[in-house]
């Protein structure tokens, strides 16, 4: 389909360990805003006037918009690049914006208007049923004029319009326009995605029983407590605090973070959409990966610039409250999974001259709402056109209704915990392989951020001690050699013992 050039007349109808920390009833900080929908501001038909439109309304840039998801506005080029424009709320807002800034028809000079009025104005005789001026009483005409003038200037009427706009239902940035944008940039939904080559192995691995979910470890009473908490959870915060910890289980060697916006990652498409903002993601500690690799792949594997935040995420969880939208959760998981798959692919191919696409999935996402858990696998494939972006696929692994009985809960919780272990296995393997490809001259870069040479020597000493090497004897021999150096050189600072 030919890409539309404008919107006018072209809209189609339609950091911690395993468990998340205790719930905070406070709002998120300003740098990590909520993803709740932004308020709709499109006025009703007949309320928009040229006086309501600014002469030069500001166009919000991507950098300004990404600060708050609840005030997110797509830039104009987002809509211009869509292959098909859906008729959604955000499209209508963009249409109104462009209508407001479009120059109105040129006004006639004063002398032409005066001449036009002297001749009686426009000829309305051809309009069937239109009353002539003489058919309307003068007082009625003046009353109507006064009424129109009052409505256009009365502050009360304007304030009422403003209040009406504020009470409208807010809309989300994850609408059909966002979905179309992902498809246009080869981030496929489940119904057009190809399956990963290791799908059978993944499904088998997710079913392996876990001792922590045996009848003795997870009783019927524990299941009933989980089901009651799920029934009472009204929003995402309730689900994250009261429900998810029962699914994730006790603390283990898994690093995760909640509500972190991935502002440090390079855009997966063209930069016109907001950065991913998963509810929870699991990754690796930064110090596990060589610093030179971290720096080189930062735009693909480091979601946040904050020190200590997990890197190389490849398991994402999106939750919704009772009144959330499952379609939005699926779009968020699709977006998250593509970002994670890109990071795993970059780690896997670190040091290679040409990227290799093996067709396997090493990234997983999950959505949870009202007891329904869905797990997906994500993998990249070779771009159809050389030089283009890789294509990203999303495959549903399985679905579990966890509130039915204890057995259904155990199957769902087992699958999620096994997916978490599987994601860590993939991630650790790629990190170890990338560290092994670092040239020997860059070995010092394996130390953490800000480490000095002395810190590096201390790390080497500790490593030698753990390996049973008598580091003290070696150091004594080195010290003796230092004392044998010419005193003149030593006084000039050429040697350090």
416 CB neighbour count, 10 Å cutoff = 23
| Kind plus residue range of the DSSP H or E element containing 426 | helix 406-436
Q: Which residues, in sequence order, are CB contacts of 225 under 8 Å at separation 6+? A: 246
How far, CA to CA in Å, does 361 sit from each of 223, 257, 284, 431?
A: 32, 22, 18, 16
Concatenated DSSP letters for 251-294?
--S-EEEES---TTSPPSSSS-SPPP--SEEEEE-GGGS-HHHH
Q: Cα separation of 333 and 276, whole Å?
A: 9
pLDDT tens digits for range 164-208: 333 333 446 788 889 999 999 999 999 999 999 999 999 999 999
- Cα four-point dihedral sign 479, 482, 484, 490: negative
Look up residue 159 and give its two tokens.
């304030």
Position 133 scores a pLDDT of 53
CB 258 within 8 A of CB 239: no
DSSP 8-state secondary structure symbol assigned to residue 243: I
Q: In what order do the strands lie in the sheet with 363-369?
A: 255-258, 280-284, 311-320, 363-369, 372-381, 391-401
Encode burial over 159-196: b for 16+ CB neighbours within 10 A, e otherwise. eeeeeeeeeeeebbbbbbbbbbbbbebbbbeeeebeeb
Q: Cα separation of 374 and 399, whole Å?
A: 5
Position 24 scores a pLDDT of 44
Q: Global pTM?
A: 0.62
pLDDT in tens, the chain (497 residues): 444 444 544 444 444 444 444 444 444 444 444 444 444 444 444 444 444 444 444 444 444 444 444 456 778 888 788 888 888 888 788 888 888 765 555 555 666 667 767 777 777 666 666 555 555 554 544 444 444 444 444 433 334 334 433 333 344 678 888 999 999 999 999 999 999 999 999 999 999 999 999 988 999 999 999 999 999 999 999 999 999 999 999 767 899 999 999 999 999 998 889 999 999 999 999 999 999 999 999 999 999 988 889 999 999 999 999 999 999 999 999 999 999 999 999 999 999 989 999 999 999 999 999 999 999 999 999 998 888 899 999 999 999 999 999 999 999 999 999 999 999 999 999 999 999 999 886 444 444 444 434 343 334 443 443 344 343 344 444 444 444 434 444 444 433 33
Position 106 scores a pLDDT of 56
Position 333 scores a pLDDT of 97
Position 127 scores a pLDDT of 67
Percent helix, strand and coil across the chain, each rounded to 5?
Answer: 45, 10, 45
CA atoms within 13 A on the CB side of 236: 19
- As a whole number of angstroms, the longest Cα–Cα distance in the chain is 121
Q: Cα separation of 236 and 286, whole Å?
A: 28
How far, CA to CA in Å, does 441 sit from each of 286, 292, 438, 445, 446?
A: 21, 11, 8, 9, 11
Q: 282 burial class (0-12, 13-18, 19+ CB within 10 angstroms)?
A: buried
Look at residues 423, 367, 422 and name the one whose alpha carbon lies nearest to residue 400: 367
Phi/psi at 399 (nearest 5 deg)?
A: -135, 140
Look up residue 326 and give its two tokens.
């499952």
Look up residue 261 and give its two tokens.
């916006």
Position 364 scores a pLDDT of 98
Alpha helices for 53-173 (secondary structure H): 62-65, 76-80, 89-101, 110-118, 138-153, 155-166
Position 94 scores a pLDDT of 81
Look up residue 59 and give its two tokens.
């166009």
């Amino acid at each position: 389909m030919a890409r539309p050039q404008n919107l006018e007349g072209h809209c189609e109808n339609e950091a911690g360990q395993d468990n998340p920390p205790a719930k905070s009833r406070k709002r998120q900080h300003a740098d990590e805003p909520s993803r709740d929908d932004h308020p709709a501001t499109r006025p009703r038909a007949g309320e928009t006037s040229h006086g309501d439109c600014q002469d030069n309304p500001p166009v919000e840039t991507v950098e300004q918009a990404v600060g708050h998801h609840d005030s997110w506005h797509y830039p104009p080029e987002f809509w211009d690049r869509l292959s098909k424009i859906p008729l959604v709320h955000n499209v209508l807002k963009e249409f109104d914006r462009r209508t407001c800034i479009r120059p109105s028809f040129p006004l006639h000079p004063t002398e032409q208007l005066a001449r036009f009025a002297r001749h009686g104005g426009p000829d309305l005789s051809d309009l069937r049923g239109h009353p002539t001026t003489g058919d309307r009483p003068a007082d009625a005409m003046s009353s109507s004029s006064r009424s129109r003038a009052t409505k256009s200037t009365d502050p009360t009427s304007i304030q009422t319009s403003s209040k009406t706009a504020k009470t409208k239902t807010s809309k989300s940035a994850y609408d059909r326009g966002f979905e179309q944008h992902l498809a246009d940039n080869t981030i496929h939904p489940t119904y057009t995605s190809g399956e990963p080559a290791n799908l059978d192995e993944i499904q088998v691995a997710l079913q392996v029983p876990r001792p922590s979910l045996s009848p003795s470890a997870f009783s019927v009473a524990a299941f009933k407590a989980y089901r009651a908490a799920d029934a009472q959870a009204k929003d995402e915060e309730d689900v994250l605090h009261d429900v998810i910890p029962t699914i994730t289980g006790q603390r283990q060697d898994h690093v995760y973070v909640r509500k972190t916006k991935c502002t440090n990652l390079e855009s997966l498409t063209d930069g016109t959409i907001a950065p991913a903002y998963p509810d929870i993601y699991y990754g690796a500690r930064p110090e596990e990966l060589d610093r030179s690799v971290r720096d080189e792949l930062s735009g693909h594997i480091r979601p946040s610039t904050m020190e200590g935040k997990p890197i190389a995420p490849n398991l994402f969880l999106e939750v919704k409250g009772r009144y959330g939208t499952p379609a939005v959760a699926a779009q968020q998981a699709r977006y998250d999974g593509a970002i994670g798959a890109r990071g795993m692919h970059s780690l896997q191919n670190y040091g290679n001259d040409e990227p290799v696409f093996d067709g396997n999935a090493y990234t997983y996402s999950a959505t949870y709402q009202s007891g329904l858990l869905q797990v997906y696998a994500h993998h990249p494939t070779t771009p159809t056109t050389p030089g283009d972006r890789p294509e990203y696929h999303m495959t549903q692994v399985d679905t579990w209704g966890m509130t039915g009985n204890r057995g259904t809960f155990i199957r769902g919780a087992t699958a999620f915990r096994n997916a978490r272990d599987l994601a860590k296995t993939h991630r650790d393997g790629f990190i170890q392989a990338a560290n092994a490809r670092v040239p020997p001259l860059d070995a010092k870069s394996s130390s953490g951020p800000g480490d000095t040479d002395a810190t590096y020597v201390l790390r080497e000493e500790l490593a030698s001690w753990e390996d049973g090497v008598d580091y003290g004897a070696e150091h004594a021999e080195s010290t003796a050699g230092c004392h044998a150096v010419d005193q003149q050189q030593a006084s000039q600072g050429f040697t350090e013992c």
